[in-house]
Structure 1
Amino acid sequence: MRTEIKTILVTVDFTEKSDNAVTMAVHMAGRHKARIILFHNFINYYIIDRTGKQAVGTEKVKEGLELAERGLREIKLAVQEQNRSLRVDTIIGSNSLVSSINECITSEKVDLVLTGTSGRQSIKELFLGSASYEILTGTNSSVLLVPEKCRTYDFGKILVPVRVIENLQEKLMVSQNIAKKNNAEISLLGICSEEDANVIKEAYNSIWSALAKDTVKYSTSFILTNEKAVKISQFSKIDHADIIILNYHDENSWKSLFSENFFKQIINHTDVPLFFLKKTTEAQKAMPDESAGFDIALPSPG
């Protein structure tokens, strides 16, 4: 697994939260000397008849695609005018959102997908899911969720919770890398219930020992709780954290429909960027092609 951030894909839908995500990507790319991909997904609507796929409203589709291309060019020019050393590319996907992003992750060797989020989910998003949550759970790369109201683009304090033992060494390496690029302090937080206290304490102490041998500034804390997402969020406010780095491990995932799983709790209660570390073997498989369409093919008479 690559722990360096060399290529950042940022999703663009031309909204305020998207603009803020681009700003975050620019700041991160500057510190990491990384390439930026401005990514927009555009799906052609079609019907299927006996002659094959037929685009619905071909002129409107063409017009929409041209608007998207123009919008990406304008953002790219604006970014490069302010940051001439940055490499910025634009890509438009044409598959389902997650499938298009995963295709780009593979072809462009993307290290991090960065997407804006409006924060707390509405009732509709609670049951149907938001685009940012779909990207988080479906893409084959680490994901950084950037709240729409976030205006801190430098990470002076990095909160690193130890709540599960998966991929802790990779998480530590990513955290150290980001800390050094930001001249930041790592705030190590052990957090667990009484049931898994021994395992988590052992993992926490191993990370603590590794930090003690490094040059990165750090502080340590430990909390016993059954409400890990809520307590991490509360601690991030008290600790003035600028970013939280989390393992991609969804506790109580069966509760996701009701927004009670770890991912949705942490998103709903936290106002700072959330970095979810994924290994390739853990990442979700790309979703099947769900390009919008209506099948009006009829059976042959007789």
Structure 2
Amino acid sequence: MESITTSASPIKKIAVPIDFSPKCENAVKTAVQMALRHRAKIFLVHVVNPYFITDRAGRQIIGGESISKDIDAAIRRLEGLRDLLSERHPNLKIETIVQTGLVTDTPNDIVVSHHIDLAVIGTSGHQKLKQALLGSYSYTMLTSLNCSVMLVPEEFKTNSFRHILFPVRTLNHLRTKLRLAIAIANRNDGIINLSGIGNSNNFPKLKREFLLLKRSLRNRKQRFQSELVLTDDNAETISKLSNEKSCDIVMLNYEDEMKWKSLFAENFFKKIINNTESALLFIKPKNTVTIEPATYSGYDLTMPIPG
């Protein structure tokens, strides 16, 4: 395995999409603590939907004026949140962004244009069956954003990540994942729980990579525990281990399983989201993406905050 530099944190810019619902409060708290530990900058992001309603004659009856009011209200609320956080944490670097667009597309435009390393998104915890079948906001963000994504349940009350679950279930991007796990562990005085998880078909290859990771952690004198688990259901096993070990965060490769089941609750991502009580960090290596000019008309406001 290649050498890994642990001095500099790979987390330098953190985005928090905010819809002003209660579930966002915990995401903001978690993102703030991470930013302070990693000396990262926070971007508070709100997207205003540019909706228009016309009557039967084609005359616009709701649109520009309502959107303008929504934008002004969002600006005031984000500025208030920024000022409150700055007062509590004078060294915290914060920028607020208010844009119009689709909530499924615009956050990713911001992620790419601002070179975001991590998006922290609040969830309502255990999803209802209807949400699991049709897809929730957090699931949409997870699958659409071009950066690593952390999902933070509304009831998650831990301010640090002392117990880190590192499942080895796929072999892709393990070096990136290990570097991030070490950075988080070092900044939280944490311990890494390395768990090789697989079935009889992939177990030999998985075990080899698992042993290489153990050696790498041992050579770096990193605190860790390790175990190998043979299972036919990776999601169920990871959720069980996370809950049994009272883990604060689970680090997962961004690779779904049984993609043909993506419309149902049984796919890997949705099973993990539905059944795990800790924060979930999905590692997504960045790709080079070109943003096309916006095709809608309306407002596009970016508000940089100095410092």
Identity score, percent = 38
Deviation at 1:93, TM superposition (A): 2.4
Shift of 1:288: 11
Matches within 5 A, 1:1-302: 4-46=10-52, 56-281=62-287
* Cα distance, 1:127 vs structure 2: 2.9
Task: Give the drift of 1:47.
Answer: 5.7
The TM-score, its normalising length taken from structure 2, stands at 0.88
**Partner SS for 2:130:** helix
Encode CA deviations 1:199-248: one digit per residue, 9 max, x unaligned: 11011111111001113200001110011111111111221211000000
Q: CA RMSD in A?
A: 2.6
- Native 8 Å contact 1:99 1:288 kept in 2: no
Cα deviation digits, residues 128-155 of structure 1 (max 9, x gap):
2111000000110000000010000201
TM-score (norm 1): 0.89
Cα gap change, 1:185/1:290 in structure 2, threshold over 3 Å: closer, same or farther? farther
Q: Is the 8 A contact 2:54 2:62 kept in 1?
A: no
Residue identity matched to 1:112: L
* Distance in 2 of aligned mates of 1:290 and 1:121: 34
Report the 3-state secondary structure (helix = DSSP H, G, I; strand = E; otherwise coil) of the residue aligned with 1:246: strand
AA at the equivalent of 2:36: G
Distance 1:290 1:145, change over 3 A: farther
Task: Report the AA paired with residue 210 of structure 1.
Answer: S
| C-alpha distance in 2 between matches for 1:194 and 1:53 | 64
SS at match of 1:98: coil
Kindly state the Cα deviation for residue 62 of structure 1 after the two structures are TM-superposed. 1.8
**Residue matched to 1:298:** none
Gaps of 5+ in 1: 293-302
How far residue 269 of structure 1 moved from its aligned partner, in angstroms, is: 0.5
How many Å apart are 1:119 and its aligned residue? 1.8
Contact 1:29/1:36 (8 A) holds in 2: yes
CA distance 1:141–1:58, change in 2 (3 Å): same
SS of 2:31's partner is helix
User: Number of paired residues?
Assistant: 289
Q: SS of the counterpart of 1:194?
A: coil
- Cα offsets for 1:162-195 (capped at 9, x unmatched): 0000001111111001111111100100000111
What amino acid maps onto 1:178 in structure 2? I
Task: Tell whether the 8 Å contact from 1:189 to 1:221 is kept in structure 2 after alignment.
Answer: yes
Return 5+ residue gaps in structure 2 as ranges: 1-7, 298-307
After superposing on structure 2, the runs of 4+ consecutive aligned residues of structure 1 that deviate more than 6 Å are 283-292
Q: Which amino acid aligns with 1:186?
A: I
1:34 and 1:181 mapped to 2: Cα distance? 12
- Are 1:98 and 1:135, in contact at CA under 8 Å, matched by a contact in 2? yes
CA shift at 1:101, angstroms? 1.4
Matches of 2:280 and 2:295 in 1, distance apart? 28
- Relative distance call for 1:55 and 1:114 in structure 2 (3 A) is farther
